[in-house]
Amino acid sequence: MMRSTMEISSMVFVILIGASVFSLVFRGLGGDDMVHEFLSHMPGGTYGALVIVMLVMFVLGFFLDFIEITFVVVPIVAPILLMSDISPVWLGVMMAMNLQTSFL
């Protein structure tokens, strides 16, 4: 029992470390600027970008667990959406509801 708990906990930490490394490399290579440029030119402005991000997260929810999506996608798109005058609480609730819906 203790061994399986240790294995699951270590897998979660490996995902966390891998997601952190991915985010650092992605930002270091200018990927966040590319995503910002892409989302800022969406038709519909801020709400168009929000819809695109929610659709991508919804589709990713079919294949990935919420931990991976939270640690990989959210650090990339959340700062961009928060710069667009979207409430952080509202954005967090929307992302959480979106992920729960995609798991169904």
| pTM of the entire predicted model | 0.76
> Per residue in 92-102, pLDDT tens?
899 999 888 87
54 phi-psi bin (left φ>0, alpha ψ -120 to 50, beta other): alpha
Non-local CB neighbours of 44 within 8 Å, separated by 6+ positions: 51
User: Domain locations in the chain?
Assistant: 2-103
Whether 104 shows a pLDDT value over 80: the answer reads: no
pLDDT of residue 69: 84
CA atoms within 13 A on the CB side of 72: 15
Task: Give the span between the Cα atoms of 17 and 21, in whole angstroms.
Answer: 6
11 CB-contact burial (10 Å; exposed 0-12 / middle 13-18 / buried 19+)? exposed
